[in-house]
Structure 1
Amino acid sequence: MNSDLTVLDNPVAESLLAAHAHLARRAGQAATYLPGVATFCALPTEPGPADWADLARLLGHGGFADMFSNTALPPADWEPVFELEGRQMLWRGGHPTGEPRPADGVSLVELGPDDVPEMLDLVERAEPGPFGTRTRELGTYLGIRARGTLVAMAGERLRPPGWTEISAVCTAPEARGQGHAARLVSALVARILSGGEQPFLHVAEANAGAIALYERLGFKTRAAVTFRGFRTP
């Protein structure tokens, strides 16, 4: 296990500085992803007024600043958009048990550019969280097809040094209860480990079912986090 946990305290900034630098827009020490990739913004852990001003210039008037789990609060004239309690979980070993075997006609596949329309349709129906037209560029995305139709997916998102986040875990309403999420997460864990990195993820505190699944698959809670979003003045 990578002993450097500090990069997980500000994973968006660490990702944009390293593995995702080619997907970043910058102004001073402020950064965000290119349009369509992700809405997450990054600032130093303890930003000053100049840093918030740089981010405001980067996003433009009324721009959406998705601060992810950064604990810093913006100036008073930034409009709050959302606040969501969650947790950060790290994979500590283990394996799924008791998952049903895939039915006939069900296959696990790697998703590519041609699959984006189906991925966006699945996201709209399953609502796993933010996902744009270019989000799949953040890493590898895997899907489960049932007789050719995409019914579940999960993929790699943030990439702070030594770590890879699993995200966008979702299953179409009509295909739930068949073990698809467990198979996808397990496949991604194996892939991440084979690349020499460690898996982690974030989950909303209210999603008790997902938390229980991740714990069964070997994830343990590292920290409580609060996700926040704002609009620039």
Structure 2
Amino acid sequence: MTNSDATVLDDPVGSSLGGHHAHLAQALGRAATYVPGVASFSAVPADAEARDWADLAQLLGGGQFADLFSCPAAPPSDWEPVFVLEGRQLIRPGGGPAEQADDVSGADVVELSAADVPEMLDLVTRTEPGPFWPRTHELGTYLGIRDGGRLVAMAGERLRPPGWTEISAVCTAPEARGRGHARRLIGALTARIESRGERPFLHVAEANTGALALYERLGFESRKPVTFRGFRTP
């Protein structure tokens, strides 16, 4: 599959909210957002008009955070900018094995559930891999690695455009780094995703050169640069 076959990834939030994650969506007109506690991402079409922005503002409420992810549309001037972050979208070419180095599962790789959310939130607080909320685990499968019973690393599935699954929330506790945990978790998730006939993709901040190098070693290739933006509604 070439990059031109992956155009659905140009709007990964909107295509997820309108498809696989419809049960976790709130929608009004052409605007959509995730229900509270799952994700902060919102979507409007690339050709958004005043009506679309008004619908999204109504969904979110006044003075609320609108995380537009990589949507290229510019909101009205009375939407207050909150952040801009340069990043990159990467995809894994189809047809190759998920991970060759060694076993990507093992007894210490476990599937996480709602019962693990307090530990997942604690790990995210300590490592800051990106947005993660009390119900984010409902987006897909999340895997973790425990050491002495304590959760020290995790990664999971986030956005789900048709035919694709995003790997996200890749993080390792400072005291457990350098042991290959992230590589094993990404390999295990990649194998799961490809086993159901889908392709993995992910996003990384341009400044996070260490993560970018890891993903490239695992066979991911850059598809395009992206700009992540957040605003506050009027």
**Same-fold status (TM-score > 0.5):** yes
Distance 1:96 1:194, change over 3 A: closer
The CA distance in 2 between the partners of 1:95 and 1:52, in whole Å, is 40
Provide the residue aligned with 1:190 in structure 2: 191
Provide the residue aligned with 2:163 in structure 1: 162
Provide the residue aligned with 1:120 in structure 2: 121
| RMSD of aligned Cα (Å) | 1.7
Provide the residue aligned with 1:180 in structure 2: 181
Q: CA deviation at 1:12?
A: 0.2
Deviations 1:44-79 (A, max 9, x none): 121011100100111111011000000111010100
Contact 2:31 2:44 (C-alpha < 8 Å) held by counterparts? yes
Q: CA deviation at 1:94?
A: 5.9
The CA distance in 2 between the partners of 1:90 and 1:23, in whole Å, is 25
Contact 1:26 1:58 (C-alpha < 8 Å) held by counterparts? yes
Provide the residue aligned with 2:17 in structure 1: 16
The CA distance in 1 between the partners of 2:14 and 2:188, in whole Å, is 27
Distance 1:17 1:219, change over 3 A: same
Q: CA deviation at 1:6?
A: 1.2
What letter corresponds to residue 22 of structure 1 in structure 2? H
> Any stretches of 5+ residues in structure 2 without a counterpart?
none
Contact 2:98 2:190 (C-alpha < 8 Å) held by counterparts? no
TM-score between both structures, scaled by the size of structure 1: 0.95
The CA distance in 1 between the partners of 2:107 and 2:232, in whole Å, is 43
Q: Percent identity?
A: 69
Provide the residue aligned with 2:207 in structure 1: 206
What letter corresponds to residue 179 of structure 2 in structure 1? Q
Deviations 1:13-69 (A, max 9, x none): 000000000000111111000000000001112101110010011111101100000
Contact 2:64 2:232 (C-alpha < 8 Å) held by counterparts? yes
The CA distance in 1 between the partners of 2:150 and 2:203, in whole Å, is 27
User: Between Structure 1 and Structure 2, how many residues are aligned?
Assistant: 230
Deviations 1:207-226 (A, max 9, x none): 00000000000000000000
The CA distance in 2 between the partners of 1:118 and 1:30, in whole Å, is 33
TM-score between both structures, scaled by the size of structure 2: 0.94
The CA distance in 2 between the partners of 1:22 and 1:204, in whole Å, is 29
What letter corresponds to residue 149 of structure 1 in structure 2? R
Provide the residue aligned with 2:223 in structure 1: 222
> Any stretches of 5+ residues in structure 1 without a counterpart?
none
The CA distance in 1 between the partners of 2:5 and 2:139, in whole Å, is 22
Provide the residue aligned with 2:35 in structure 1: 34
The CA distance in 1 between the partners of 2:226 and 2:39, in whole Å, is 19
Q: CA deviation at 1:229?
A: 0.1
